[in-house]
Structure 1
Amino acid sequence: MALSLIENLQIQARNTSQEDIDKLCNGIVGNLLLPDKSGECIASLRQLFFILQASHIEPNISDDVVAGLVSIVSKGFKGGQARLCLLCQQIVAELLPEDYPLSSSSEPETDKANLLSLNLIQGEKLGCLVEKVPLALRWILNDDDFESQQKAFFFLIAVVMLHSNLLTDDSMKRTSDQMASWLMNASLYQAQNPYTMSLFKKDQTNIVNEVDGTPSRNFFTVLNVGQYYTDDQLMNITCFSLLYKWLYYAHALVITPSTGDSDVRETRKKVAKAERIFGILVNRTVEYCLRLLDQCERKPKAPSDMDLQQCCLMEAVTILNKVCEIDDSQVPKIFQEVRRLFSRLSQDTANARILLNILQFFINHSATVVHDPQEAYNLYFHKLLTRGYGDPALAFDTVMFIRNNMEFLCHKANLLAVYFPNILKILAWNPRTYMTEFCDILPAMMSSTTSMEVFHALLDLPCMTASLEVMEKSKKEDVNTPISITSDTEPSSSFDAFYNTYYRPMFNFFCRVEGGHGDTINKLNLFHVILEDMKQHARVKVCYQAVPVLLRIWFSVILEEAGSEFCSQLIPVLLERSALLYGIPQYTADVQKIMSESAIQLFRTFPELVTAQRMDIMDFLTSVRNISKREEFFTSFVWAVGEFSSSAYHSDCNADVISKFFEVLEAVTYEFSSVMFQSETEGLSLSVKVLSVLMSAIAKLASRCQDLIPRAILCLTKVAKQPQQQANSLDTDDQEALVTRAQELINLLKLPNFSSVVLNPSPEIETGRWHRDSTCLPIILRGIHQILCQDALMQS
C-alpha cells in the first residue's frame, strides 16, 4: 500500500507541467526571505526538490530562484535556518551539476564564515573559488585562529580533489610546507584542563604519553596519548588524516602530461617540479611515518588503542607507498623498514589487511631494490586468505587489490592462476556482493593450463558455497560433539558427511587452496546427493544465480583466445558435465542453456571438432536417455553433426565417417519417434524440436553420401506415418509440422543433385554474395518460379 502510494506521487511529480513549476518557483521567491513564511517556504522547497528528483528531464528553473537559494546557503547554518539552508543546498546541488546557466549578478558576497559552508561545485559555478584560494592560504598560516586554519585546510583539500586546476605551483608548495610544519612542530605538552576550578594550579604531568603509557621523548604524532590536546596537536592529527589525499591529488596535478617537449625533458621537468613542491613535506612525512611504525611496536596500555595502531599502520604504509612514487630516492630507506614490518606481522592473521597494503608497496617498488617478494605473495594468498575469506573487510580489500593489480598478478606473479580456488571462496561466500568485480577478474584466472579447471570450479561453485557453510558450521559446534571417523554408516546430512572419512576428502577438494589438483572429483553425483539438504540455503541460492553470468564470460574468453586443440578437449567435458550438475532445477536449466548456446558457437568457430571428437559425440547421441532433461543440449549436438559432418570442414570426414554418424542418428530417430508418439504425457514441445532437427540432420548426411538416400527416405517416411498410425498426445499443429517437414525433406532427397545444393549451402551464403551473384541459387529459383507462374497464366 505504501509503495503504491509513493509510486503514484512520483508519477504525479514526474508529470508536473512547466507552468505549475513556474507558479511554485514564484511562490518560493516571494516567501524565501520572509521569516513568518518559513514553514510555507520549506513546504514549497520540499515539493520542488521532489519534482527535481522524480523528473527524467531538467525543468527550467529561473535565475531568480537559484540566486535566492544560493543566497540562503551562503549565510550558513545559523539560528533556526538550518533546515531551510540544508534544503536549499540540496536543491542547488541537484541543479548545478547539469551545467545550469547562472548570471554573474547571482554571485554571493561571501566572508570567512560562509566560504566553507558553500558547496565547492556551487563555488566553481559561481566563479568564487579562484579568489578564495589565496584567502585560504593566508588562513592556514594563521596559528592564532585554529578554527579558521582547520576549515581553510579542509577547503584546500577539497579544492585539490575536485578542482585542482585552480591551484598554482606556488599555492601547492606553500600548503605542503605548512603541512610539513604541522607534522613536525606540534607541542609535546598537553593542553590545560578547560574544566579546572583553579586557574593557578599547574598540572605536573602535562607531557603526552606513548601508547604504552610512558612519557614521550620524541615529536608528537597521532599515536601520542593525552587527556587534552592543544590546537597544534589537533592540526597535527588533522594533517596526518588528510596527508594521503593531498599527496595523491596534488602529485597527480604535478605529473599531468603537457606538450611541447620531448619525453626525457618533460620527465626531468616533472621530477624537478615535484621535488620543489613536495621536497620538505616528503622528508617530514617519511620521518613521521617511520616513527609511527616504531610506536606501533609498543604494547598499548588501553586495549582500544590497538585498533588505532592498526589503522595508523595501514595509513602509514599507504602514505609511504605514495612518497616513494613521488621521490624514488626514498625507496631503499623505506623498503628496509617496510620489509621488517612485514616480517613482524606476517605470523598473525589479524594483520592481514595491513599485509595487503605492504604487498601493494612490494608490487610498486620491489624492482627498484631488486627484491623478489614472491614468498610474501604466496603467504597471503595461501595462508592468510584461507583463514580470512569470510571477513567482510578483508574480502573487500582483497578483491580491490586483485582488481587494481590484475596485470601484475596474472602475468608476472602468476598468482591468479595458482590460487584461483582460494580467491573464488570470496565469491562463493559473498556471491551477491562481488559479482561485478569477479566478472573482471575471471578472465585473468584463465590460462592454457587452468582454464579447464576454472570451468569445473565455476560449475561447482554452489557446491563450494555449501561446503564452506558446512565447514563454518563445524567450527562453531562444541568441541565435545562426537565425531564419526568411519565410513560404515550412511550420513543423514551434509554436516554428518563432513565428519565421515569417506566424504571428508570431497569437502577438502572443493575448499582447496591451490589449483592444479585435478579438474573435478570422482563420484561427483554422490557428493551432490549428500549436499541435498543445502539446496535451499540462502547463500547457495544466490550463488547458483551468479554461475550463468560467469559461464558466459568464460566461454567468450575461450572463443576469443583458445585454439582448436583446447576446444577439442572441451567437447567431452561438456558432454559429461551437462549431466553432472548440482540438482537445483533452475540452476541446471540455466547452465544447460548456456552450454547449448556455447556448443553451437564452438562448432561454428571450429567445425572440424565434429569429426575430431566423433567417438565421444557418437557415444553421447547413441542413447535416447541423454535427451531426458537435456533436450536443448542434445539438439545442439545433433544440429552440429548435420551441419559440419562434411569433407569441406575436415579432410578425415569421408563417406565412412558420414555413414557412421548416419547410423547413429537413424537409430536414435527410430527409437525416439517410437517413444514420443506412444507417450501419453504432456509438454513435449521440445521433443518435437528434437525430432525435427534429427530428421534434418539425417537428410543433410544423406545428401553428402548418396548411398544413404534410400535409407533416409525410408526413415523419414516412417516418421511421417507414425502420427497417423498411432494415437498420441501430440498437438495437431505439431503433428502437421512434423509430417510437412518430413515430406519436404523426402522431396528434396528424391532429387540428389538438387538436395546436395539446398541442404549443403556454401559458407559464402552468409556473406550475402549468393544474393547478388547472377548464377546463385536464390536468383535461379526466383527466375524458375517466375517462368512457371507465367506459363500457368498463359495456360489459364
Structure 2
Amino acid sequence: MDNVGTIIERARAISHEELQEFYRGLQEALKSQSIADVIPSLRQLWLSLACTRYRGDVPPDLLMPLWEAVKEPHLGPVMVRMLCAAVLQEFSPCQSVCLRGGELSSGPLSSSSLALTLPVVAGVGHYHPDLQVLREQLLAWLTGAGQVDTAAITHVLGCLWGMDNSEVITLTQEQVDGVSKQLCTWLTTTSTTQPPNPFSKNIFSSRQLVAVTEVDETPSHDMFTVLSVGQHYSPDQFLNMQVFSMMRGWLHKHQSKNGESASMALLVDKMCEYCLRLLDQCERKAVVQQDAELQQACLTEVILLLDTMCQQNSSLIPRVFPSIKRVYNRIQNSPASSINIINILQFLLHHSDAVMYDMGPALQHFFLKILDKQCIDQSLAFEATLFCLENMENLCNNTSVLRKFFPCLLKVFAWQPKTLLAEFVDLLPTMVSEETAIEVLHCLLDLPVITAAMETVMRVEQRGSLTVTDLSPEAVAQSTPELVYSDPLHRPLFNFILRAEGGLGDTIDRLKVLHDILQDYSTLPRVVVCSQAAPVLLRVYLQTVEQEASVDLLARLFPVLLERSCLLFPIKTFQTEVKRVLSEALVWVVQTAPGLLIDNRQEVQELMSSPRNFTGREDVFLHLAWAVGEYMSVTYDRRCTPDIISQYYEGVECLLYELSVSQLGRTETPLQHRARLTAVLMTALAKLATRCQDLMPRVLLCLTKITQQLPASGSQDPGDAVLLARAPVLINLCRMPNVAPLLSSLPAETDDNSKLHQDQNSSSCLLLQLTQAVMKQSQQ
C-alpha cells in the first residue's frame, strides 16, 4: 500500500509541461509501434488522467488510436483494449470518441466489443453527435431477436437507461411499450439453475445443473430474484438483477403517461408478483452476513417500488397492503430495520385511507421507540427528517405527531445541528401551535443543553453504568457530568431535558443546576455548533409566532422572554446572540399587546429595580425600558391609570438616581453602555410625566439634577455629552404640558381618512425651537 501511495503522489506531482511532453512522446510511439507495445505508457497515461486535473489537454490525435483499438478486436488483446477503454472513460466526454451511425448499423457487434465500447459512448452522454441514431440502434438491439447475445444486452440496456435519464432524448409510447415488453420477459423467464464455473479448466467437471438456493441455503425452484443465491450466475440472471434495479425509475418516468398500455400493465403486474416474492424471501434467516445485508437493501427497494406502483395504480393496494403490514409487524422492533420502517410509514401515509387503516400507533411507535432511542444514528436522523419534511402537509393536516413529538425531533437536530439546519428551518413552524409554543421556546433555548446531555448519556452508555450514592450540591460542582447522571437524585433532570414527547411541562425549576452540571461540556465542538445554530431556529420560531400568535399566547410568552433572558447555557456567544433576539422579540410583543406591561408590571418593575439586573442582558433591559416609556399610555390601554403610571415612574426614577449616584461617587459598578441606559431612562421618565401632570415637577427636578451631576462626576465618557444635550430638550418639553404629550408619543393608529399629519423625519428639537419662536412673536 505504501508503494501505491507513493506512485499516486508522484503522479499528482507531475507538472502540466511534463504531461504535455509525455503526451507527445506517446503519440510518436503509437505511430511507429502497435498498441500492445506501449502498455506501460498507457498505464501511466491512465494514472495521469485519474490523478490530475489536466484531462482536457490531451491531444485528440492521441485518443483516436485508442478508440480504434477498442472498436477493432484485431488491433490488440482484450486486456490492452480494456486499458484503452479505461483511458477513454477518464477523458470523457469527448465528441471525437463516439460510435457513428454507420459503425453501429454495419453489422452485429460481439458482447465483448459492446462491453468495451458502450461504457465509453455512455460517458459521452448528450455530447454525442449521432444521439438519435444511437438510440434507434440500442432500441433495435433490445427489442430484436438474435442480433446480440444476452451478455451484450446488459451493456445495451445500461447505455439506453443512461440516455433515458439524461432528458436529452424522449422515447415514444411505442418505444416505451416495446422496452417494457422485453423487461417483463427478462423478469419472468430467467433460469433458476446455476451455470457451471466459467473459469474451470477441468473438462471432466460435472455438467449437472444445480438449482439456485435461498438465503437460508434451501433449494429454490420458484422464479429467480436478486435474492437467489448461486456460486455463479448466467447472463440472463445478471440481466434480471439489472432490470430490477432500474424498475422504479422506469415506472416513475413512464407509467404516469403510459399507464393504460397493455405492455405497461403486464409489466406492473409481473413486477408486483416479483416484489411480493422478494418480501417472502426477506423473511428467511440468512446464513451469511452479506446475504442479511442484501435482504435489508432489497427490502428497502421493494417497499419503495410497491409504493410507486400503488400510487400509479390504486387497484394494487388491496393486494399489496397485507404483505406490507406483515413486514411491519415483523421488523417494527428491529433496530437494524429502522430505515425500512420509515419507508413503510411512507407507504402507510400514502395508502392507509384506501384500506381504512389507523396509522397513529405506528407513528407513535416510531418516534418513541425507534427515533428517540437511535437519534444519534446519522442515516436514521437524515431519513427521519426527510420523511417529516416531504410529508409535512399530510402530517400537519391529518396527524399531530410533529406537534406532539417535537422534543424528539429537536434532539435529532441537537446532535447534528450543522447538517440539518436548513431542513429544520422549514420544519420548525409545523411544531408551533397555541398549545406547544411556550414549550417549543424553552426547548430552543435549551438546545445546547440537550446536546451536552446527549453527550453525557452516550459516554455513560459506552463506559457502562456507574454506581454512586446521592451527591450533595458541593459534590455536584466537583463531579463529572457522567457521574452526576448516574446519581438518582439528578437523573430526572436529564430525563426531562431529553424527553421525546411534548406536553409534560414547559421547563424545570432546577434548570440552573443542570447548567452547572453540564458546564464542562460547553466547549465541546458539537455543543458549540449547536449554540451557533440555535439562534437561527429561534428567529424562525419568533417569526412564526409573530404571524399567527393570539393575545393569549403573547400573554404567556412575555414573562418567559423576561425569565429566560437571564437563564441560558453558559456559552458567551450563545448568550449574547440569544439575548439580542429576545430583546427584539420583546419590542414587537409589547407593540402587539401593550396591555402586557400592566398585566406583568410586578415582574417588569422587579427587573428594573436595580442596575445590577442590567449586567449580562443589556439589550433586553434597554428595550424594556424603552417600551415602558413608549406604551404606558391610556392611548394603548384604558387600564393605564395615573396610579400605574406613577408606580412605573417611581421605579424608573429610583433606577436613574441610583445610576447617577454610582457614577458621581465613582463606585465600581459593572455596567456597560452607561450613557445609553441613562438616555433611555431619561426619555422614558419624561414620557411618563407627560401623561400624568402631577409628575411634572418631579421630572423637572430629576432631569435638572442629572445635568448638574454629570459635569461634577469628572467622567471622560463621550456619551455624557449626548446626555447633556438630551436633558435640556426633555426639560423644555416637560415645561409645555399642553404640547408635550403629543410630541413625546408615537402617533396612534388612525383611520385612512384621518387628517392627522405624520412625519417620521421630524425632530423634537426642531419642533420645540419652532414653537418657542412662534410664542415669542405672539408675545411681541
Normalising by the smaller structure, the TM-score range is 0.7 to 0.9
* Other-structure match for 1:606: 593
Give the residue type in structure 2 aligned to 1:192. P
Secondary structure of 1:304's counterpart equals helix
Equivalent position to 1:706, from 684, 693, 699: 693
Distance, in Å, in 1 between the alignment partners of 2:502 and 2:728 is: 54
Which sits farther off after the overlay, 608-617 or 338-347? 608-617
Distance apart, 1:215 and its partner CA: 0.9
2:526 aligns to what? 539
Residues 545 and 587 in structure 1, CA contact (< 8 A), matched pair in contact too: yes
Counterparts in 2 of 1:364 and 1:677: CA distance versus 1, 3 Å:
farther
2:739 aligned partner: 754
Change (3 A) 1:780 1:632: closer
Tell whether the 8 Å contact from 2:46 to 2:87 is kept in structure 1 after alignment.
Answer: yes
Q: Does 1:188 align with 2:175?
A: no
CA distance in 1, matches of 2:221, 2:45: 59
Q: Does the 8 Å contact 2:652/2:685 carry over to 1?
A: yes
- Mapping for residues 531-680 of structure 1, pairs under 5 Å: 531-679=518-666
Give CA deviations for 1:699-741 in whole Å, capped at 9, x if unaligned.
111122222222112111222222222244x42x222111111
| Structure 1 unaligned regions, length at least 5 | 1-25, 53-60, 93-101, 255-269
User: Which letter maps to 1:471?
Assistant: V
User: Shift of the alpha carbon at 1:287?
Assistant: 0.9
Change (3 A) 1:86 1:743: farther
Distance 1:194 1:70, change over 3 A: closer
Report the secondary structure of 2:704's partner residue: helix
Residue 139 of structure 2: aligned partner: 137
How far off is 1:381 after superposition?
0.8
| Whole-Å separation in 1 of the counterparts to 2:166 and 2:69 | 21
Q: CA deviation at 1:67?
A: 9.7
Over aligned residue pairs, what C-alpha RMSD do you find?
Answer: 4.1
Query: How far, CA to CA, are the matches of 1:137 and 1:506 in structure 2?
Result: 66
Q: Distance in 2 between matches of 1:281 and 1:761?
A: 72
Q: Are 1:519 and 2:498 matched, yes or no? A: no
1:310 matched to 2:300 = no
Matches within 5 A, 1:62-81: none
For 1:622, what is the secondary structure of its paired residue?
coil
CA contact (8 A) 1:73 1:117 kept: no
Deviation at 1:374, TM superposition (A): 1.2
SS at match of 1:226: coil
Residues 386, 513 of structure 1: 8 Å contact kept: yes
Pairwise mapping of residues 110-149 of structure 1 onto structure 2 (< 5 A)?
111=104, 114=117, 116-118=119-121, 123-124=125-126, 128-141=130-143, 144-149=148-153
Give the corresponding residue for 1:89: 92
**2:379 corresponds to:** 393
1:437 aligns with 2:423: yes
Distance in 1 between the 2:395 and 2:350 partners?
A: 12
Deviation of 1:576 after TM superposition, in Å, equals: 0.6
Find the partner of 1:691 among 661, 665, 678.
678
Q: State the 1:190 CA deviation.
A: 0.9
Q: 2:316 aligns with which of 317, 327, 330?
A: 330
Question: Which letter does structure 2 place at the counterpart of 1:249?
Answer: K
From 715, 722, 729, the equivalent of 2:702 is 715
Q: 2:94·2:127 contact (CA, 8 Å) conserved in 1?
A: no
**Within 2, Cα distance between the matches of 1:288 and 1:458?**
47
Paired residues of 2:662 and 2:669 also in contact (CA < 8 A) = no
| TM-superposed deviation, 1:178 | 1.5
Identical positions, percent: 33
Q: How many matched pairs?
A: 722
User: What one-letter code is carried by the residue in structure 2 that aligns with 1:235?
Assistant: L
Structure-1 separation of matches of 2:69 and 2:589:
65
Q: How many Å apart are 1:460 and its aligned residue?
A: 0.9
What is the alpha-carbon distance in structure 2 between the residues aligned to residue 786 and residue 667 of structure 1? 32
Of 457, 461, 467, which aligns to 2:453? 467
**C-alpha distance in structure 1 between counterparts of 2:474 and 2:228, whole Å:** 62
How far off is 1:307 after superposition?
A: 0.7
- Does residue 744 (structure 1) correspond to residue 744 (structure 2)? The answer is no
Name the stretch that deviates more: 600-609 or 284-293: 600-609
Aligned equivalent of 2:469: 484
CA contact (8 A) 1:676 1:687 kept: no
Sort the Cα spacing of 1:364 and 1:28 in 2 relative to 1 into closer, same or farther, 3 A: farther
1:169 aligns with 2:155: no
Q: Decide which moves more: 29-38 or 310-319.
A: 29-38
Quick one: which of 366, 369, 372 aligns to 2:355? Answer: 369
The answer (yes or no) to whether the contact 1:169–1:277 under 8 Å persists in 2 is no
Q: Quick check: 1:416 aligned with 2:402?
A: yes
Q: Distance in 2 between matches of 1:30 and 1:516?
A: 75
Going from structure 1 to structure 2, the CA distance change for 1:683 and 1:29 (only over 3 Å counts) comes to: farther
In structure 2, what is the Cα distance between the partners aligned to 1:195 and 1:46?
A: 31
Contact 2:27 2:62 in 1 (8 A): no
* Residues 234, 106 of structure 1: alpha-carbon distance in 2 compared, 3 angstrom cutoff: closer
State the alpha-carbon separation in 2 of the partners of residues 34 and 786 from structure 1.
97
CA distance in 2, matches of 1:711, 1:51: 84
Relative to structure 1, the CA distance from residue 228 to residue 86 in structure 2 (aligned partners, 3 Å threshold; closer, same or farther) is: closer
Separation (CA, whole Å) in 2 of partners of 1:497 and 1:713: 57
Is the CA contact (8 Å cut-off) linking 1:453 and 1:520 kept in structure 2?
yes
2: CA distance, partners of 1:90 / 1:741 = 72
The equivalent of 1:425 in structure 2 is: 411
* Cα distance in structure 2, aligned partners of 1:676 and 1:108: 92
Q: Does 1:402 align with 2:388?
A: yes
State whether residues 611 and 659 of structure 2, in contact with CA within 8 Å, keep that contact through their aligned partners in structure 1. Answer: yes
Change (3 A) 1:210 1:84: closer
Scaled by the length of structure 2, the TM-score of the pair is 0.83
